[in-house]
Amino acid sequence: MLVTAAELADYMDQRFNNRQSDSAEVVIAGIQSEIETIIRRPVESEQFVEIYHVPEDYLVVSAESYFYDRSFDRTYNGLNNLVAPPYMLYLRQTPVTAVAQVRKKGRVETAFTAQTPNTMWKQTRFGIELFNVLAFDTLEVTYTAGLDGTQIPYIRQVILRAAAREMQNMVDDVLGLQDLQARQITIKEIGLTDSEKATLKRYKRKQI
């Protein structure tokens, strides 16, 4: 998590006991998850293993004629020197920080085969460019992706603010029960405010 229970206690100028620290970790994890839902990407780099399928409309083209229309003839009769253009695979999580492995399985194959980096594929910011695939191939990609939230002070600040509000509500409830009477306080807003959500959208992943 981007923020620890100890950092939240310092932010609130409080001293948490063990039970309060456990509660703080749950609150922080929930708020970080809410932020990731809003911006549609992780705020910390994580490793993912995902399966992709090359679509059936990814077909070879003639290197001799740029005017061949495959919608009229998918048999390629009379065409020579057929080539497969690079296939751009956009990964589900971004930005991509590292690709550990790419494995491919053909339509009639039963086992995956490792693909050589820089020769059979190349990493990009949003995915990988492949040079050795055909329609109906299955790809297994192991990669690391996500924002470096430790370098984005605003995201940490939002987590601290929202977690502090929720923890203060919990502390007030506990003190009220101990005193056997309701405390004359104003309940603080739970979760992210509309203003925080609107500002976080600057980090939102744009659909590719």
What is the mean pLDDT of the segment spanning 19-31? 91
Q: How far is CA 54 from CA 139, 140, 142, in A?
A: 8, 11, 17
Q: Give the torsion sign (CA, 132, 135, 137, 140).
A: positive
**Mean pLDDT, all residues of the chain:** 83
Confidence of residue 179 (pLDDT cuts 50, 70, 90): very low
pLDDT for the residue numbered 8: 93
Give tens-digit pLDDT for 187-203.
Answer: 566 789 899 999 998 88
Mean per-residue pLDDT, 57-63? 71
pTM of the model: 0.71
What pLDDT shows up at residue 91? 93
Question: Residue 172: pLDDT band by 50, 70, 90 thresholds?
Answer: low
The pLDDT assigned to 66 comes to: 56
Task: Write phi, then psi, for 13 (nearest 5 degrees).
Answer: 55, 45
Q: pLDDT over 90 for what percent of the chain?
A: 48
Helix 153-179, helix 18-39: angle, nearest 10:
140
- Mean pLDDT confidence for 140-159: 92
Enumerate residues 6+ apart whose C-beta is below 8 A from 121. 99, 102, 115, 128, 129, 130, 131, 132
